[in-house]
Amino acid sequence: MPLFGNSFSPKKTPPRKWASLSNLHLLDRSTRETELGLEYGTPTMNLAGQSLKFENGQWVSESGSFLGDRRELQRLRKRNQQLEEENNLLRLKVDILLDMLSETTAESHLMEKELEELKQHSRKKK
């Protein structure tokens, strides 16, 4: 017999009944759609004043300004290409500057080493 007793003894939970008493899960999809009216249609959204709908795996503009969108897209792609080229040029310049800096640093260390050797050599002569 334990000293303090066993005060925690949870009751057994009763077995669960059916999760749903509805027979809708037994119906096929087309029957459910006609019974419950599940005609969703295509998903749509309004983003920055422009209405878009989801068709064939892509978001398509519902408004008639599709040519304007295409021109804007072409302009943005051209600007993106220009920025990528500029970014590549700047990376090249940074690489060249780093190479020049490491070369100058190496030369500086060599000169300092030679200067120390010359100082030591001149002290030995005296």
Asked whether residue 79 is assigned to any structural domain, the reply reads yes
Q: Which two tokens stand for residue 11?
A: 């009751």
Are 93 and 55 found together in one domain?
no
Total length of the chain? 126
Q: How many domains does the chain have?
A: 2
Asked whether residue 15 is assigned to any structural domain, the reply reads no
Are 59 and 70 found together in one domain?
no
> In which domain, by residue range, is 50 found?
25-63
Q: What is the pLDDT of residues 97-120, one digit of tens each?
A: 999 999 999 999 999 999 999 999
pLDDT of amino acid 93? 97
Q: Give yes or no for a contact between 42 and 54, defined as CB atoms under 8 angstroms apart.
A: yes
Are 108 and 68 found together in one domain?
yes
Asked whether residue 2 is assigned to any structural domain, the reply reads no
Are 95 and 120 found together in one domain?
yes
Q: What is the pLDDT of residues 59-104, one digit of tens each?
A: 777 765 555 567 888 899 999 999 999 999 999 999 999 999 999 9
What H or E segment, with its residue span, contains residue 82?
Answer: helix 66-125
pLDDT for 57 beyond 90: no
Q: What is the pLDDT of residues 11-22, one digit of tens each?
A: 788 777 666 656
Asked whether residue 93 is assigned to any structural domain, the reply reads yes
